[in-house]
């Protein structure tokens, strides 16, 4: 298994942000001078200083200087008002031992001697169906050149309901790579700044540094509205990526209905044997041609519909019955909407699809994929602050963005998603960590789970 990437490590990597502009508000030193050790200092003050230094740490870790500087200043104002409070020479009143209650007026209630014992018997659920297993990528032994493959699906229970049935495969995460510089939110772009011009290097970074299980190459330059790169030209980048990384590939087009079938067909040809996933066939495109490209070259097809369970059924059926795709070569993308922008529809649509699959609907018992990167479309993920008057300020956006992607991904993971296409390395790390815990792979727990009740934090 690859190296474990914890959230802390992720935040370590973020520390390299530039902080020069904060010089003006770095005054911890001054504050320390104000406090004379041993002179009966108010606990409040110590608290406040401790909090300030925590806050400074936050500021140093995350960029967006102006915004932070403002926040820091207002924080300082609050602090100075705290400092304005007299510093009492006496220490806070001692904690007193619990006083005995006066028994005078307490009404009489009959309190039993013992608990009524009532055994909890969990209700059992078993499903007749099973989600198909789909393997992406092929090693040399199977005619490809991948060093790892990824298998998804195989569920016999709802996501992470390990107590109903252990699901063998944990959902996998692919990181998006583009064949031309795409529009990216600042918080995402920062992590790929050095590789934006070089998809192969980009893919390498995604795998080596950010722990991607797969890489998705989006051939967006083929869009007639953009460079309109000819299919035969565009697919060259795939060969570079196959060289650069040894994980399975997903290949996406530009979304152009006329062009995609040609592009994906070409891509299927040049990756023969690698068992890539072609993304994707849709009802309003020539799904037959894309489906045939997958079938003829031994690839997996992504069946993409727009949040409609019936359309999903229809397209799956076309691909299975008319094109003749193998049941172990189909993945569904029922469409991902971002947190706050339709996530409820996306969640419920996927949940219904998964439940239908488990209940035995053989048109729907396939693994699901989610374009989780869509989360970045939410303005809360990238906008500098709320455009709405009366809104509580939104806080630093470099902290909002990743969490938007995390929460979108988590929600859909609970609906049954098996494969995530993501972008922010921090979001990838957190989602993996959390799934590992629910799956029972990341075991280490905390002993004293009651401590929050009395912690002075």
Partner 1 sequence: MKVKSPLEVYKFLPQTNCGECGFDTCMSFAAQIIDRSVKPTDCPPLVENAKKDKKFEKKLNELISLTSPEILEVEIGVGDNAIKIGGEDVLHRHELTFFNPTAFFFDVYDTMDEEQIHERCSKVVEYRKFYVGDFITLEGIAVRCTSNDPEKFRSVVKKVSEYGKPMVLISMNPECMRAALEEVADQKPLIYAATEKNWKEFLQLALEFKVPVTVRSKDLTILKSLAKTFRENGVRDIVLDPVTEPIGDGLRGTFERVIQLRRTAILGEDKDVAYPIMITPISAWLIEGDEITKGYWETVLASTFIVKYADVMIFKNLEQYTVMPSVILRYNIYTDPRTPVQVEPGLREINNPSPDDPVFVTTNFALTYYTVESDLTSGNIKCWLLVLDTEGLGVEVSVAGGQFTAAKVKDLIKETGIEKKVNHRYLTIPGLAARLQGAIEDETGWTVLVGPMDSGRIKGWLEQQWPPEKKE
Site for partner 1 in 370-389 (CB under 8 A): 377-380, 383, 386-388
Shortest Cβ distance from residue 382 to partner 1 (Å)? 8
Shortest Cβ distance from residue 58 to partner 1 (Å)? 6
Shortest Cβ distance from residue 371 to partner 1 (Å)? 15
Q: Of these, 77, 162, 193, 232, which contacts partner 1 (CB under 8 A)?
A: 162
Residues 3-32 contacting partner 1, CB under 8 A: 7-8, 11
Contact 366, 153 (CB under 8 A): yes
Which span (22-30, 116-124, 227-235, 243-251) binds partner 1, by CB under 8 A? 116-124
Contact 305, 364 (CB under 8 A): no
Shortest Cβ distance from residue 18 to partner 1 (Å)? 18
Residue among 282 and 292 whose Cβ is closer to partner 1? 282
φ, ψ at 242 (rounded to 5°)? -60, -35
Which span (130-138, 241-249, 285-293, 345-353) binds partner 1, by CB under 8 A? 345-353
Residue among 93 and 128 whose Cβ is closer to partner 1? 93
Residues 282-341 contacting partner 1, CB under 8 A: 337, 339-341
Alpha-carbon separation of residue 361 from 47, 124, 279, 322 (angstroms): 59, 21, 23, 18
Residues 53-72 contacting partner 1, CB under 8 A: 54, 57-58, 61-62
Q: Of these, 163, 181, 197, 327, which contacts partner 1 (CB under 8 A)?
A: 163
Residue among 136 and 304 whose Cβ is closer to partner 1? 304
39 binds partner 1 (CB under 8 A): no
270 binds partner 1 (CB under 8 A): no
Q: Of these, 38, 86, 110, 128, which contacts partner 1 (CB under 8 A)?
A: 110
Burial grade of 199 (CB within 10 A; 0-12, 13-18, 19 or more): buried
**CA 445, 449, 454 angle in degrees (round to 5)?**
145
90 binds partner 1 (CB under 8 A): no
Residues 411-450 contacting partner 1, CB under 8 A: 411, 414, 430, 434, 437-440, 442-446, 448-449
Residues 125-154 contacting partner 1, CB under 8 A: 125
Q: What token pair was written down for 149?
A: 């493959």
Residue 209 to residue 195: CA distance in whole angstroms: 12
Q: Of these, 86, 117, 128, 258, which contacts partner 1 (CB under 8 A)?
A: 117
Q: Of these, 1, 89, 90, 118, which contacts partner 1 (CB under 8 A)?
A: 118
Shortest Cβ distance from residue 346 to partner 1 (Å)? 9
Shortest Cβ distance from residue 54 to partner 1 (Å)? 6
122 binds partner 1 (CB under 8 A): yes
Q: Of these, 24, 40, 360, 395, which contacts partner 1 (CB under 8 A)?
A: 395
Residues 201-220 contacting partner 1, CB under 8 A: none
Residue among 64 and 292 whose Cβ is closer to partner 1? 64
Which span (74-82, 206-214, 266-274, 294-302) binds partner 1, by CB under 8 A? 74-82
348 binds partner 1 (CB under 8 A): yes
Q: Of these, 37, 38, 107, 128, which contacts partner 1 (CB under 8 A)?
A: 107
Shortest Cβ distance from residue 445 to partner 1 (Å)? 3
Q: Of these, 21, 32, 40, 47, which contacts partner 1 (CB under 8 A)?
A: 47
């Amino acid at each position: 298994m690859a190296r474990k990437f914890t959230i802390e490590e992720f935040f370590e990597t973020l520390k390299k942000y530039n902080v020069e502009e904060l010089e003006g508000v770095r005054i911890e030193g001054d504050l320390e001078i104000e406090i004379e050790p041993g002179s009966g200092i108010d606990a409040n003050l110590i608290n406040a200083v401790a909090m300030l230094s925590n806050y400074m740490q936050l500021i140093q870790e995350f960029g967006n200087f102006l915004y932070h500087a403002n926040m820091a200043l207002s924080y300082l104002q609050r602090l100075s008002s705290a400092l304005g409070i007299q510093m009492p020479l006496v220490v806070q009143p001692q904690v007193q031992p619990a006083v005995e209650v006066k028994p005078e007026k307490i009404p009489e209630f009959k309190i039993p001697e013992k608990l009524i014992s009532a055994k909890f018997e969990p209700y059992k659920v078993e499903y007749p169906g099973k989600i198909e297993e789909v393997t992406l990528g092929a090693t040399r032994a199977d005619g490809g050149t991948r060093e790892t493959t990824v298998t998804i699906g195989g569920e016999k229970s709802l996501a992470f309901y390990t107590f109903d049935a252990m699901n063998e495969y944990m959902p996998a995460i692919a990181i998006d790579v583009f064949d031309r510089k795409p529009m990216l939110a600042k918080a995402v772009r920062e992590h790929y700044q050095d590789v934006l011009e070089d998809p192969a290097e980009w893919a390498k970074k995604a795998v080596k540094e950010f722990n991607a299980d797969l890489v998705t190459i989006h051939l967006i330059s083929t869009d007639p509205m953009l460079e309109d790169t000819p299919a035969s030209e565009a697919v060259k980048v795939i060969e570079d990526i196959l060289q650069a990384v040894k994980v399975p590939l997903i290949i996406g087009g530009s979304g152009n209905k006329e062009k995609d079938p040609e592009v994906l067909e070409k891509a299927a040809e040049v990756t023969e044997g690698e068992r890539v996933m072609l993304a994707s066939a849709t009802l309003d495109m020539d799904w037959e041609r894309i489906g045939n490209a997958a079938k003829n070259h031994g690839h997996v097809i992504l069946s993409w519909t727009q949040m409609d369970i019936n359309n999903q059924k229809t397209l799956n059926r076309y691909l299975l019955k008319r094109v003749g795709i193998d049941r172990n070569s189909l993945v569904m993308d029922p469409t991902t909407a971002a947190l706050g922008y339709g996530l409820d529809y996306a969640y419920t649509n996927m949940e219904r699809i998964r439940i239908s699959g488990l209940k035995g609907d053989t048109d729907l018992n396939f693994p699901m994929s989610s374009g989780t990167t869509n989360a970045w479309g939410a303005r809360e993920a990238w906008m500098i602050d709320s455009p709405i008057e009366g809104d509580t300020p939104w806080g630093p956006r470099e902290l909002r963005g990743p969490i938007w992607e995390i929460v979108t991904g988590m929600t859909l993971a609970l609906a049954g998603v098996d494969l995530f296409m993501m972008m922010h390395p921090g979001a990838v790390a957190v989602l993996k960590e959390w799934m590992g815990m629910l799956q029972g792979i990341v075991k280490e727990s905390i002993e004293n789970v009651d401590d929050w009740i009395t912690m002075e934090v």
